[in-house]
Structure 1
Amino acid sequence: MTIDVVVADDQELVRSGFALILDTQPDISVVAEVGDGFAAIEAVRAHRPQVLLLDIRMPGMDGIEAARVVCGETDTRVLMLTTFDQDDYVYDALCAGASGFLLKDVRRDDLVRAVQVVAAGESLLAPSVTRRLIDDMVSKLPRKRPAGLDLLTGREQETLVLLGRGLSNAEIAVALVVSEHTVKTHVSNVFAKLGARDRVHAVIAAYESGLIRPGD
């Protein structure tokens, strides 16, 4: 299946460069290139792409606000790009619903892989965005208990905690002594019950509730 992508960046050379890299891939098609947040929202509404590659700093409406609208209205997954490696941008992007965050100096292959990973429903952060940073961000969130947390079975809660520790499905399967297929089922159930778009947002919900604490 081809991954449809909208590229949104106010710098034409950057925008066309990313589009060119992605459009040469056999499994990726760039369906629109736009230069601001308003145009990004309209392009997503028109094309319903799997992924929106979105710059954070743009005129008119910035990428954070555009991501919030797109994630609120559609199933399109948002991959944020920026030249700024600052904690607040990561925090704001994740809270807006973004599933990925990369710096603009990302290598060609890593950009392609990021789009593929996010389109597949996973979450992706730049290597410089470590678990310590996530811990620091979510420790600032007000504690609240998502309604869906009470619906999780004991094994689903265990799965969520292991997700919060950064384990892959294969590693969770080993830890719980179950098949990887069973883990995938648990992960899907966790997403559905918490109303989470992907791993990052499920883990944020777990931190907010206190199920996972910084440093766990």
Structure 2
Amino acid sequence: MTKQDRAVRTRLALIRSAAEQFETRGYVRASLAEISAGAGVSSGALHFHFANKAAVAEAVEHAAEDALREAAARHQHGDGSALQRLVDVTHHIARLLCADVVVRAGLRLNAEQAAGRVRDLRRGWRECVLGLLAEAERVGELAAGVTPQRTSAVVLAATTGIEVLAREDHGWLARPSLTDLWQLLLPCLAAPCLAGTLDPAGSPSVGSSSAASGQAEPGVRADAGRADAGRAGLALR
């Protein structure tokens, strides 16, 4: 393994360890010593990659943002019903939150803005929801009188509420919770021509993501870390 590869691994381990500390202890109580210990590296190695705790938190948020953007992009454009893709993306992100501590911690840090950061992790989600509803309106999938703007506010409020509740109980992210939500919403949103064609439990393909299988941590992407390491010429200390 090259020095650059070790540097990438160290950085990713630190981001994951920091996410675990931020999730369980919060930003204020989490310490750099605990973060470095959780990653199995020295304090010197941590400071080689990150100047301070705020920089570590920024890295966690950035990794979470990348994972959320990638999940949304999978469903924003494609074949099939726009409303079904909206249902599917909510299930996909719920599974991502279950599987990826970095995404959970990144959203929590961003909501609390504990370190004074200005990144808006939920902006992409708002754009995704509104975009899919606008597409549904264009192709005649919305019921009469249903508008993308007002409907997106309801979907955003419901999904954000589920994410906040899940900080204390991950059961809120289970498939039945979102299925119940869509069973209530879809009859009000969908045009009569779609009756019986939309699955509130999500398409079967949603369950094939790596987040659902728990095989990967999408929030900590090795390719992104490798690019950072290459630009900075990092070497493990």
Structure with higher helix content: 2
TM-score, length basis structure 1: 0.27
Structure with higher strand content: 1
| Bigger RCO of structures 1 and 2 (CA < 8 A, at least 6 apart) | 2
TM-score, length basis structure 2: 0.26
Q: Which has the larger radius of gyration?
A: 2
